[in-house]
Chain A
C-alpha cells in the first residue's frame, strides 16, 4: 500500500489543521452544557406553566347542565307545551291578518296601466312575427313560410294594426305570385 500513488498524493496534501484558539475547549464545553441545561429547565418550567394554565381553564370553565331526558309522559308539561304552541300560532295568524289589511289593492288608474301594458306586450309579440315574415318574404323559396307567419299574426293578434298590415302583405305576395 505504501507504493500506492494515490496514498502518496493524499499524504503529501494532508495539511495540519489551524492552531486552536487560545480559549480553553474544556471550559467552553462546560459553559455550553450549563447554558443548555438552563434553557432546558426554563423550557420545562414554561411548558409546565402552560399545562397548568390550560388545565385550570378547563377545570374552572362553567359546565352547562343538561336536563335529564324523561321517557315518562308528563301531562302538565304537555299542556304547557300545547298552550305555548297555540299562543305562537295565534301570533302568526294575527300578523297574517295585518299583512292582508295593508296589502295594496289596485286602483282604477292602476288597472288602466295594466291594460296598456298588456297591449304593449301584444304589439311587441305581433311585431316580432311580422319582422320574421318580412325577412323571409323577399326570398321566393321562403314565401310560404312568410305567409304562414303573417297568418299567425292575424290569428293571434286580430285587434292590432299589425294584423291589417299582415293582410296587406299576404295580398301583395299573392298578387306577385299571380303575376309570375
Chain B
C-alpha cells in the first residue's frame, strides 16, 4: 500500500482527532490483529504516524478512510514484527493467555466456545485475507470502498474475499449449520 497523505482543509486539532477516533482505531486494530492484546502499541503507532503526517486534519469521512489505511499498514507491520521479533515468545504468551482466558469462560458459557472457534479460524487466515473479512463483515464496507482503501482492484478484492470465505467454511462449517 502506498504511503498515505493526510487530507487537508478544515482544521482539527490532534487532541480532537484522538478524542474522536481513538476508540474506532482501537476497535479496527483489535479486529485486524485477530482480537489480540497488541492493540495499545498499534493504536499509538497509528496516531504517531498521523501526528507526523500533518498537524491539521479534516473531520469528515475521508479522514476516517485515511486513518483506516494507516491502521491497516500498522497492523501489517505489527504482524511482520511478531514473526521475527525476539519477543515473539511474548506475543505467544499473550495469545495463550487470551485463549486460556476465553477457554476458561467457555467452560461456563457455550457461546464463548463458539467465539473461540471463530477467533481461531480467523487467526489462521493470512493477514490480507483477514483484512477483507474484517472490513466486509465487521466494518460493513462494500467491495468498491475496500478496493480504494486497500489499493487493489475490485476483482482482486472479490478474489480475496472468496478465498477467505472458503478458508473459514471448513473450520466453521458445524457452527454455520447451527
Contact = CB atoms under 8 A, between A and B. Distances in A.
B114 interface: yes
Interface string A75-108: 0000000000000000000000000000000000
Interface of A: 4-7, 9-18, 20-21, 25-26, 28-30, 32-33
Given A18-B39, A25-B43, A26-B15, A10 B133 contact: yes
B48 interface: yes
B76 interface: no
Contacts of A29: 14, 18, 44, 47-48, 51
9 contacts: A5-B176, A6-B172, A9-B175, A10-B122, A11-B137, A11-B138, A12-B111, A20-B43, A26-B15
A15 B115 contact: yes
B160 interface: no
Classify the secondary structure of A's interface with B.
helix
Contact of A6 (B52, B115, B168): B168
Contacts of A20: 22, 26, 40, 43
Contacts of B39: 17-18
Contacts of B176: 5-6, 9
Contact of A12 (B31, B47, B114, B133): B114
Nearest to A24: B18
Interface in B125-153: 133, 137-138
